[in-house]
Amino acid sequence: MLFQIIATLIWASAFIAAKYTYEMMDPVLMVQCRFFIASIIMLPGFFAAYKRVPKERLKIMWLLALINFPLMFLLQFIGLYFTSAASAVTMLGMIPLLTVLIGFLFFKRRINKIDLLLSLVALAGIILTVVGGGEDNLINPWGCLLVLGSAVSFCFCLYLSKDVMQEMAPKDYTNVLVILGSILCLPFTCVLVRDWSIVPSVKGMISLFYLGIGCTWLAVVLWFKGVQKTPTYISSILTTLEPIFGVILAILILDERLSTVSAMGILLTLGAAAVSVLIPVLMKKSP
């Protein structure tokens, strides 16, 4: 469980590191450089891992790489460029509820009244977060919408990747996904980068390598290492820590200030997400 908590903390800090990286390069270029750094680490094991992908799963692996990396990460970090780290990470707090809603709408999964109610509460929280705007007007509706779009992409991947992950080792799956995602991101980078100039800084370079090594590679390794020894219900609870850690780090490190309305919205959103994860866990454990 300790490995998963560390991984969650690293992922939560990604938005903080990205804010420092934006000071020296375009956000789209930052995403591509992040993937490039991670790919260098994973490349030695890629070809062997790719050969172990079942032939009938190759097309879905390319699709998952496209949705997971160019689509999800570009939406996430372009959105972050326009809004505050605290509001962006709050949008990711919607993932547990979005997973339920997308399962109901697109994958014929059942949805209960409690999940529907919590979804409405979380939506109200997002509206309050955006309307509140933060003390320095740092919360941008467009930026929040883009980050929310990245969360939707992630949820689709959860369903689409289910069968593939049952047939592949986690290490192979991650390795193939990162390398393919890096390749597929190149055309988007060529089209979407607005400024190709890089103004190197110590803080920016450290943040970039932290994103590439820590957030893209190390955190994944730690998470799967923890998953092997941690009950599934504990893992699901730990996922709700990421937005909480992210908001705390944004306030402590970036000195972001939240208005009362935005703070209430964040609490509502994260609270609804946490309850949506805890209810099924408690129901399973009850006699």
Cα(63)–Cα(146) distance, rounded to whole angstroms? 20
Q: At what angle do helices 113-132 and 260-285 cross, to 10 degrees?
A: 160
Confidence at residue 283, expressed as pLDDT on a 0 to 100 scale: 65
Cα(219)–Cα(226) distance, rounded to whole angstroms? 11
Domain count along the chain: 1
The backbone region for 256, taken as left when phi is positive above 0, alpha when psi lies in -120 to 50, beta otherwise, is beta
Confidence at residue 237, expressed as pLDDT on a 0 to 100 scale: 65
Cα(3)–Cα(237) distance, rounded to whole angstroms? 14
Confidence at residue 284, expressed as pLDDT on a 0 to 100 scale: 60
Q: Which tokens is 194 given?
A: 């607005």
**DSSP state, 210?**
I
Digitized pLDDT (tens) for each residue of the chain, 287 residues in all? 678 788 888 988 999 999 999 999 999 999 999 999 999 999 999 999 999 999 999 999 999 999 988 899 999 999 999 998 988 988 888 888 888 888 888 988 888 888 888 888 888 888 888 877 655 667 888 999 999 999 999 888 888 888 887 888 888 888 998 999 999 999 999 999 999 999 999 999 999 999 999 988 888 788 777 766 666 556 656 677 788 888 888 888 988 887 888 888 888 888 887 787 777 666 665 55
Q: Which tokens is 59 given?
A: 């097309």
Residues 6+ apart with CB under 8 A from 134: 84, 86, 87, 256, 257, 258, 259, 262
Confidence at residue 207, expressed as pLDDT on a 0 to 100 scale: 95
Cα(128)–Cα(263) distance, rounded to whole angstroms? 8
HSE of 222, CA atoms in CB hemisphere, 13 A: 18
Residues belonging to the chain: 287
Confidence at residue 224, expressed as pLDDT on a 0 to 100 scale: 72
Domain enclosing residue 97, as ranges = 1-284
